[in-house]
Chains A and B, each alone.
Chain A
Amino acid sequence: GDSVTQMEGPVTLSEEAFLTINCTYTATGYPSLFWYVQYPGEGLQLLLKATKADDKGSNKGFEATYRKETTSFHLEKGSVQVSDSAVYFCALSEAVGNRDDKIIFGKGTRLHILP
């Protein structure tokens, strides 16, 4: 079945460092790919998404490119801030017929940014 694998954390970086969180997936069809972020004490919220191969999603300085050849969707940010400290989830979904299939999440990567 479909699955998502992302790098385990926690990841600890200094402010203004470059961030990469790796994510790879397996899927039978043509999924959409997502990064969600969970700030302390809150639910998940969408950070960015890409719906087809070679699409790049971007938001708040974060970027990820849908790479079909390597089945990857790595999250990057050039200069992180303390406020980026959160848990990041990579996810995929595939529409099936007239309803969405269930969304598959990675296990999450906790990010700590030190001032």
Chain B
Amino acid sequence: DVKVTQSSRYLVKRTGEKVFLECVQDMDHENMFWYRQDPGLGLRLIYFSYDVKMKEKGDIPEGYSVSREKKERFSLILESASTNQTSMYLCASTTGGWENTEAFFGQGTRLTVV
């Protein structure tokens, strides 16, 4: 069974902390994505990556960075967490290539910044 796994379901961090959200996929997918989900705003793309060590900004990259050192792992980094980054974070992956294939999602990480 294909899987995208996020390292934590729930996290509570303090303002100013550096926060790492980890995502691992076991499908040998080329593309990986980080979204945040907020009530009334749907899913907003933070960053995505279509290859190892490659990254592209999404719609709301400010305050975030990412790392993709290995194909299966895509990390989201909050350099200095703030309360407005309290949200549900979703990681996803797709195969890449000419076909428009479905995205596979992790279970989500609910981050609270206090």
Contacts and interface: CB of A to CB of B under 8 A. Distances in A.
Contacts of A44: 43, 90, 92, 103, 105
A113 to B, nearest CB: 20
Interface string B52-88: 0000101000000000000000000000000000000
Task: Please report whether the interface of chain A is mostly helix, strand, loop or mixed according to DSSP.
Answer: strand
Contacts of B105: 36, 43-45
B100 A32 contact: yes
A95 B102 CA distance: 11
A107 B108 CA distance: 17
Interface residues of A, number: 25
B42 A99 contact: no
Contacts of A43: 4, 90, 105-108
Contact of A100 (B35, B41, B97, B106): B97
B98 A102 contact: no
A9 to B, nearest CB: 10
Interface string A79-108: 000000000010101110011101101111
A107 to B, nearest CB: 3
B2 to A, nearest CB: 11
Contact of A102 (B48, B99, B102): B48
A34 B90 contact: no
Contact of B45 (A36, A42, A102, A107): A102
A45 B103 CA distance: 8
B42 A31 contact: no
Contacts of A95: 97-100
Interface in A30-82: 31-32, 34, 36, 42-46, 49, 51
26 contacts: A31-B100, A36-B103, A43-B106, A43-B107, A49-B102, A51-B99, A51-B100, A89-B43, A93-B94, A93-B100, A93-B103, A95-B97, A95-B98, A95-B99, A95-B100, A99-B31, A99-B50, A100-B31, A100-B94, A100-B96, A102-B33, A102-B45, A103-B33, A103-B92, A103-B94, A107-B42
